[in-house]
């Protein structure tokens, strides 16, 4: 019987830095598309996450933010039963339900500001403080397989995902990445994960789903799960 874990959700988002020169224009557009793929409308301060009884964990970083954003033109969230979900969150729900796996939301101890402009200022600053994780995974040693979900921020892993990797012992574990992106696919994140946790086996057949296709991507995600678990 599934248990339910209550985890506090902060609000957050990220925009890519402006390109340094005109030659980087196309890269800037792609990064901005990726960065906005997690902007949404959070209707509650808490979330219920499905729990399973196996040795598989779905850990993900996903942040719908704010209550006054234009989510229609933003095209960056999925509405489900009157609630707005971050795109990585929706993908993670499908994965955890299919696998009957535990779920864990990666979040900062101190929430990012609601104002997008303030977030841009923070991530653009060389003096920005490192944010700590709100909590670690309890009994992390009990899990053999970790599905790791994240958006692409500035062409790489979000800082909180890097913190998650650095804060847990992945020795002997299998890590399976997946991402929802705005145009850059997986970028170089699989290699980044391999470099961060060389003690783990990182599956390179990772999944990347365009934010433009997330609403119709459930079957694609389920097919990917079936393939990598053959």
CATH number (domain holding residue 192): 3.40.50.360
Please answer whether residues 77 and 66 qualify as being in contact, where contact means their C-beta atoms are separated by less than 8 angstroms: no
Looking at the whole model, is its pTM more than 0.75?
no
Residue-number span of the structural domain to which 208 is assigned = 3-228
Tell me how far apart the alpha carbons of residues 187 and 154 are, in angstroms, rounded to a whole number: 10
**Phi, then psi, of 103 in degrees rounded to 5:** -125, 145
C-alpha dihedral, 218 to 46 to 178 to 56, nearest 10°: -90
Instruction: Please give the pLDDT value at position 116.
Output: 64
Check whether 94 has a pLDDT greater than 80. Answer: yes
Count of structural domains, the chain: 1
35-55 tens-digit pLDDT: 444 533 333 322 333 444 469
Mean per-residue pLDDT of the chain: 73
Q: For the residues 147-168, what does the mean pLDDT come to?
A: 90
Q: Residue 72: name the closest of 42, 39, 47 by CA.
A: 39
Instruction: Please give the pLDDT value at position 113.
Output: 75
Q: Residue 182: name the closest of 31, 58, 52, 54 by CA.
A: 31
Please answer whether residues 205 and 178 qualify as being in contact, where contact means their C-beta atoms are separated by less than 8 angstroms: no
- Beta-strand relationship, 145-151 and 102-105: unpaired
Tell me how far apart the alpha carbons of residues 99 and 105 are, in angstroms, rounded to a whole number: 17
Check whether 15 has a pLDDT greater than 50. Answer: no
Q: Residue 14: name the closest of 41, 32, 35 by CA.
A: 35
Instruction: Please give the pLDDT value at position 17.
Output: 31
Check whether 142 has a pLDDT greater than 70. Answer: yes
Q: What is the 3-state secondary structure (H, E, C) of the chain?
A: CCEEEEEECCCCCCCCCCCCCHHHHHHHHHHHHHHHHHCCCCCCCEEEEEECCCCEEEEECCCCCCCCCCHHHHCCEEEECCEEEEHHHHHHHHHHHHHCCEEEECCECCCCCCCHHHHHHHHHCCCCCCCCECCCCCCHHHCCEEEEEEECECCECCHHHHHHHHHCCCCCCEEEEEEEECCCCCCCHHHHHHHHCCCCEECCCCEEEEHHHHHHCHHHHHHHHHHHCC
Opening angle at CA 120, ends 74 and 65, nearest 5: 45
In the chain, % of residues over pLDDT 90: 41
Tell me how far apart the alpha carbons of residues 7 and 93 are, in angstroms, rounded to a whole number: 14
């Amino acid at each position: 019987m599934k248990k339910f874990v209550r985890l506090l959700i902060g609000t957050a988002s990220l925009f890519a830095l402006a390109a340094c020169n005109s030659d980087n224009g196309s890269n800037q557009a792609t990064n901005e598309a990726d960065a906005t793929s997690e902007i949404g409308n959070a209707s509650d301060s808490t979330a219920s996450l499905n729990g399973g009884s196996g040795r598989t964990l779905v850990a993900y970083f996903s942040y719908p933010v704010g209550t006054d954003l234009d989510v229609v033109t933003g095209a960056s969230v999925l509405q489900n039963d009157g609630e707005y979900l971050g795109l990585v969150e929706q993908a993670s729900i499908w994965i955890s339900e299919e696998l009957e796996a535990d779920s864990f939301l990666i979040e900062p101890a101190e929430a990012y500001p609601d104002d997008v402009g303030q977030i841009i200022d923070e991530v653009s600053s060389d003096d920005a403080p490192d944010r700590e994780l709100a909590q670690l995974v309890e009994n992390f040693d009990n899990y053999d397989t970790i599905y790791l979900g994240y958006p692409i921020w500035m062409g790489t892993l979000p800082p909180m995902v890097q913190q998650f990797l650095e804060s847990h012992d992945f020795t002997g574990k299998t890590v399976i990445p997946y991402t929802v992106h705005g145009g850059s696919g997986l970028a170089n994140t699989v290699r980044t994960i391999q470099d961060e946790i060389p003690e783990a086996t990182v599956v390179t057949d990772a999944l990347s789903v365009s934010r433009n296709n997330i609403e119709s991507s459930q079957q694609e995600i389920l097919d990917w799960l079936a393939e990598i678990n053959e």
